[in-house]
Structure formats: C-alpha cells, structure tokens
Amino acid sequence: MINALTVDVEDYYWLFSRYRFDLQTDPGDAVVRCTRRLLNLFDRHQVKATFFVLGQVGWNHPRVVKDIAARGHELASHGHSHMQLFKSTPTEFRARIRDAKKCIEDLGQCTLLGHRAPAFSLRPDTQWALEVLAEAGFRYDSSISPASVRRYGWPGVPENIHRMNLPNGSTIIEAPIPPVHVLGKALPACGGGYLRHFPYWYTHWAFRRIERHRPVIVYTHPYEIDTEPPSRKFTEALKKAPREHKRYHRALCRNRSTVLNKLERLLKTFRFAPLGCVIDSVLGRDSQAPKSDELPGE
C-alpha cells in the first residue's frame, strides 16, 4: 500500500494571535523554518509529499513555496487566510480561493489540482464549496473527516477515495482522512493532534488497520515540530489572555518534541507519495473512474 504524506503549511502564532488576541499580523518566520525542517526530513528519506499552502503564507514568504516546488513536491491549496468554510459565503470563498490558487501557481510554476479546507471545515452545511472548487479547476479535495469529532466531521461520507457528482453537474474527487474503527466507532488517527498526543505504538497500530482497506492520508503542520519559544510579543499577550486561551495553547504545544521522531519512524516503516499520486494509484488517471452517486446527506 502506498500512503499519502501531506503538510498543511500555516503559521501557528499568526493564526493564534489573530483568532485569540485579535492581533492583525503577517505569517512569521517560524513557518519557513519549520517547513524547511520537514523538507530536509523528506529529502533524507527520499520521499515526496503534498504541501497544502495558505495563500497568505505564499504572499509573505514566496521563497519557501519555490523551495517546495524545486524539491519536487506537489503544491496544493489550503485557502487564503485559514478562514473556515462555515465563516464564509460562496461568493467570498470563490474570490479568495481563486486568488490563493493563482498566487501559489505563479510561485511554484505549476497547476494546483488539490485543495484542503482549513480545519477540515467541509461539512454538510458547507458542501457548496465543492462546486466552487470544481469551477476553479481543482481536480481533488481532501477536507472531509468521515468521523464525528468536536470541531469537525461528516459521518456517512465514503471513507475510500472517490469521485463525487455535484448538484451543478460537475464532479470532483474527494480524498477523506480515513479514520480507524474501534468497537464500531470511527476515530480520527494518523495526523495532526492525534499524531502529537498519542504514543507511536497507537499510530502504528492505526496505520496497519487502515492499510487493510485503503491508503492512509497522513497530515501534519510545520508548527507541530516547532519547539522554540514564542516571541516576547506573543508571550506578553498570552499572559493577559483568558484562561481558556492559555489551555488551548498548552494543548497545541503538547508533545511537539515527539513529532519529528514519530514522522521519522513512519517514513522508515511505510511507503509514502504525494496525495495526487495516491489518488492516481487508486482511481487511475482515467476520468471515468468510479463515481459516488450523490453527496451524502442529500
């Protein structure tokens, strides 16, 4: 089984400051530093990945986008400014996704075919985004978690990579983040906070179980390997923040020092490729690949 290795390129301190402190800043240097650490890790293991890049990261740090492309990885879109779909309208999303797509395409000198919504915010109430993505020229999306969790999830969506027929007559390929099934319950695994919080043996076990049926889609963020202290400005703002913000920050920093080692062990144990290549291996390059009859929940 060839699994998909993906990175959501976003800057943690920038997003935390914007959403929690209402501070309007630009993505900082940490996203560049940590993305390059991931690039070096992948180089050592001679593996390619898909990098879902925020448009605003590209505008502020064009060199890192060019570096990703120069090292032979797949570039894809993570939207413009990490605005969740349920906080946007179709008109707003259409304008932002086209601008973000063009920015990354111009920097990488390539055509972007893939998209991942911020915070996996593609849900039954935001499925209109799929039509917008198809109109904008995206071939595939990877924004759905077929599990029900606190912040996101779309239970009932097929867990395999599949083609979706959309109400406007267009189609798009969906590559859901496959869960692991435990006692009849679908649980997220093998990416993000689940990779940080859980011990490696759990991730390895979940990998083996998922691989029996479908490729695993691993996702991580540059900030999840960032163990350097934050800036003084961020630290001072956090001191004045409500207790819930401090708890949230601690949760997102927990076990960061373990992630590089876990990724290294995964790369030594399992086979990986960019998500676009994994989709081709599952559905084939033929546009007449198997299709799902309708959107779940309709």
pLDDT for the residue numbered 150: 73
Q: CATH number of 2-289: 3.30.830.10, 3.40.91.50, 3.20.20.370, 3.10.105.10? A: 3.20.20.370
For residue 125, pLDDT over 50 is answered with yes
Find out whether 115 and 143 touch, Cβ atoms under 8 Å: yes
Q: Is the dihedral of CA 198, 201, 206, 207 positive or negative?
A: positive
Amino acid at 156: G
In this predicted structure, the answer to whether residue 297 has a pLDDT above a threshold of 70 is: no
Taking only the tens place, the pLDDT of each residue in 139-149 is 999 999 998 77
In the prediction, which pLDDT does 1 show?
A: 85
Under 8 Å between Cβ of 48 and 74: yes
Q: What is the mean pLDDT of residues 129-153?
A: 92
Confidence of residue 23 (pLDDT cuts 50, 70, 90): confident
Nearest partner of 5 among 48, 46, 43, judged by Cα: 48
Q: Number of C-alpha atoms within 13 angstroms, CB side, residue 155? A: 10
Region 150-168 average pLDDT: 90
Q: Per residue in 32-66, is it b (16+ CB within 10 Å) or e — as a string?
A: bebbbebbebbeeeebbbbbbbbbbbbbbbeebbe
Closest CA to 257 of 213, 196, 201, 198: 196
Identify the bridge partners of residue 186 per DSSP, sorted by sequence position.
181
pLDDT at residue number 49: 98
Instruction: Give the pLDDT score at 285.
Output: 60
Lowest-pLDDT choice from 63-72, 151-160, 237-246, 255-264? 151-160
Does residue 7 have a pLDDT over 70? yes
Residue closest to 48 by CA, chosen among 223, 283, 275: 275
Contact 296, 25 (CB under 8 A): no
pLDDT at 93 over 50: yes
Please state, for a pLDDT cut of 70, what percent of the chain lies above it: 95
pTM over 0.85: yes
Give the CA diameter of the chain: 56
| pLDDT tier for residue 195 given thresholds of 50, 70 and 90 | very high
| Type and span of the H or E element at 194 | helix 192-197
Interatomic CA distance for residues 114 and 112, integer angstroms:
6
- The rounded mean pLDDT for the chain is 93
What are 77's strand-pairing partners? 53, 115
Residue 198, pLDDT above cutoff 90 = yes
CA 275 – CA 104 distance, rounded (Å):
17
End-to-end Cα distance, the chain: 32
Pure H helices in 109-231: 128-135, 192-197, 200-211
Pick the more confident residue, 23 or 158: 158
Question: 75 with 112: CB under 8 angstroms?
Answer: yes
Question: What phi and psi, each to the nearest 5 degrees, are found at residue 141?
Answer: -130, 150
Sequence spans of domains, the chain = 2-289
Contact 13, 231 (CB under 8 A): yes
| Interval 257-293: pLDDT, tens | 999 999 999 999 999 999 999 999 999 864 443 344 3
